[in-house]
Amino acid sequence: MDFECVHMVVRGVVQGVGFRFFVVHAARRLDVAGWVRNAPDGSVEITAEGGRGSLRDFVADIQRGSVGATVRDVVVSRLPYQGTFKTFEVRY
């Protein structure tokens, strides 16, 4: 299986609406590891690693967003896969 890593910055109405917990649920469902956190500018930042197919589906879920959130923009950057993460967590 090919593994990849992505970093995402999600903008819109994504803080204070349960979006981080939606991200955690999606990651765990798709066997994606990494982290999510609120950024000071009102965006949400995500770094995730996983199999190519799982990561593709994860990014698609993030782009669709959750109930209560309004995703306006997702900037996805590909990073070298490191195998750093074992779980998916919320960072504060």
**Catalytic residue set:** 20, 38
| Residue in 2, 14, 11, 10 with CA at minimum distance from that of residue 59 | 10
What is the Cα–Cα distance from 8 to 32, expressed in whole angstroms? 14
Question: How far apart are the two ends of the chain, measured CA to CA in Å?
Answer: 32
Q: How far is CA 39 from CA 12, 24, 74, in A?
A: 12, 16, 14
Question: Would you state the structure tokens that stand for residue 14, as one six-digit string?
Answer: 């994504």
